[in-house]
Amino acid sequence: MKSSKSASRYAQALLDLAIEQNKVDAVAADMKYMATVCAENPDLENMLQSPVVKADKKIAVLNAIFDQFDQLTNLFVELIVKNGREAYLSQIAASFDVILKEYQGIVPVTLISAHKLDEQVKKEIVSKVQASITGTVELTEKIDADLIGGFVVRMGDTQIDASVASQINKLKQRLTR
């Protein structure tokens, strides 16, 4: 838990600096790339978490991998490593994406259904969700055959479950009382 709080704080600080220096797009692209590289390379994660590898070697490796990064991002990464927080870099990159979306007024919404939904049905669901929030909906669709039918909408801590499986479970609970 402590690490994700730290990651969020570092990500917020980086976003604040990027806004101040008018480099939000460049830093966002850098952090997205960093998250991808860290996720796809467990050896990099292991090296970052290793106490055996010295900070200057870690900085050299990161500079070689991320040489095309904006100067602000490079300085930020160096600061993180010098402060001994390099193990949090992938978490910071993920937190940055969440905080950036919040800053931009983008609300991630996940729509889960038993099968691919018709475009008209999707539009209706998105418009209902859009009416209940402030910001822009960023829709991610998932298919889960276990729902049997209907859909589940998730946004932040809120979940709207209009699935057949949920209705069957509720009916089953009422009948077993």
For 39, the token pair is 């996720």
- Residue 3's pLDDT band, with cuts at 50, 70 and 90, is low
Give the model confidence (pLDDT) of 75-128 as tens digits: 999 999 999 999 999 999 999 999 999 999 999 999 999 999 999 999 999 999
Which domains are assigned to the chain? 2-102 (1.10.520.20), 106-175 (3.40.30)
* C-alpha separations of 23 from 11, 20, 29, 80, 139 in Å: 14, 8, 10, 19, 26
Query: Pairing state of beta strands 158-163 and 136-143?
Result: unpaired
Whether residue 1 has pLDDT greater than 60:
no
The C-alpha atoms of residue 38 and residue 67 are separated, in whole angstroms, by 15
HSE of 101, CA atoms in CB hemisphere, 13 A: 16
The C-alpha atoms of residue 69 and residue 62 are separated, in whole angstroms, by 10
Residue that the structure tokens 């850098």 belong to = 30
3-state secondary structure of 155: strand
Adjacency order of strands within the sheet including 150-155: 136-143, 106-113, 150-155, 158-163
Whether residue 150 has pLDDT greater than 50:
yes
Q: What DSSP character marks residue 23?
A: -
Q: What is the pTM of this model?
A: 0.81
